[in-house]
């Protein structure tokens, strides 16, 4: 593992429990791969520009990558191409991904660049890589306590697989409005889940 791309998508920065867990996760990856570099992109505190007509036209026309309208898209896809591990820390906002992450998706999923349209459907053109998605939410959308739909998990899974990323692990920190003790219990559960991930296990424990 040479380069880890960390996407921060929530408004709370380092105060976010999800972001804190993602940082821990990156630290664990770096213990296993001390040479790995980390590129962090904070989509919430440094928002991407809103989609312009020129971008939409260039995308539909499948303009060449050096078209100025594709500059942001090229940079973001380039960051993915330069990395071999992806970590996303995202809150759930209104049952799905926050707007900041949706904008990243709209720049990164590009026909003829990050995916090809074939007779059989869309096929990813980027390399697969271990990918972790830490999702934090105020309420519950999985398990017995679920009281709301989840349009985030299957959506993000589909988005990432469209560009070729299939090696995915979701870590769900649910019910974070329930106070510190509950959040700690969720974090403990999440850490146990990470312990079992082959990309994170201590060397010699798992292949």
Cβ proximity to ligand FMN: between 186 and 200 the closer is 186
Cβ proximity to ligand FMN: between 36 and 159 the closer is 159
Cβ proximity to ligand FMN: between 16 and 131 the closer is 16
Shortest Å distance, C-beta 12 to ligand FMN: 4
Per-residue string for binding with ligand FMN, 163-182, x by CB under 6 A? -------------x------
Please answer whether residues 133 and 90 qualify as being in contact, where contact means their C-beta atoms are separated by less than 8 angstroms.
Answer: yes
- Choices 66-74, 76-84, 87-95, 103-111; region in contact with ligand FMN by CB under 6 A: 87-95
Cβ proximity to ligand FMN: between 37 and 94 the closer is 94
Per-residue string for binding with ligand FMN, 2-31, x by CB under 6 A? --------x-x---xxx-------------
Binding flag, residue 151, ligand FMN (CB under 6 A): no
**Residue 45 counted as an annotated binding residue:** no
Binding flag, residue 162, ligand FMN (CB under 6 A): no
State the SS3 of the chain.
CCEEEEEECCCCHHHCHHHHHHHHHHHHHHHHCCCCEEEEEECCCCCCCCCCHHHHHHHHHCCCCCCHHHHHHHHHHHHHHCCCEEEEEEECECCECCHHHHHHHHHHCCECCCEEEECCEEEECCCCCCEEEEEECCCCCCCCCCCCCCCCHHHHHHHHHHCCCCCEEEEEECCHHHCHHHHHHHHHHHHHHHHCCCCCCCECCEC
Q: Which residues bind ligand FMN (CB under 6 A)?
A: 10, 12, 16-18, 91-95, 136-139, 148, 176
């Amino acid at each position: 593992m040479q380069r880890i791309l960390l996407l921060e998508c929530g408004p709370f920065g380092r105060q976010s429990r999800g972001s804190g867990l993602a940082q821990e996760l990156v630290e664990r990856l770096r213990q296993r791969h001390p040479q790995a570099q980390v590129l962090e992109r904070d989509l919430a505190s440094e928002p991407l520009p809103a989609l312009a007509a020129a971008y939409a036209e260039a995308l539909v026309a499948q303009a060449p990558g050096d078209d100025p309208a594709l500059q942001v898209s090229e940079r973001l896809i380039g960051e993915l191409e330069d990395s071999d591990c992806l970590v996303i820390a995202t809150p759930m906002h209104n049952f799905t991904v926050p707007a900041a992450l949706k904008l990243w998706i709209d720049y990164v999923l590009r026909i003829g660049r990050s995916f090809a349209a074939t007779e059989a459907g869309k096929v990813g053109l980027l390399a697969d890589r271990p990918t972790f998605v830490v999702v934090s939410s105020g309420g519950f959308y999985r398990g017995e306590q679920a009281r709301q739909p989840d349009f985030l998990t299957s959506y993000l899974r589909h988005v990432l697989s469209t560009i070729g990323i299939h090696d995915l692990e979701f870590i769900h920190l649910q019910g974070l409005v329930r106070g510190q003790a509950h959040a700690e219990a969720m974090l403990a559960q999440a850490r146990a889940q990470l312990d079992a991930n082959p990309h994170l296990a201590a060397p010699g424990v798992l292949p």
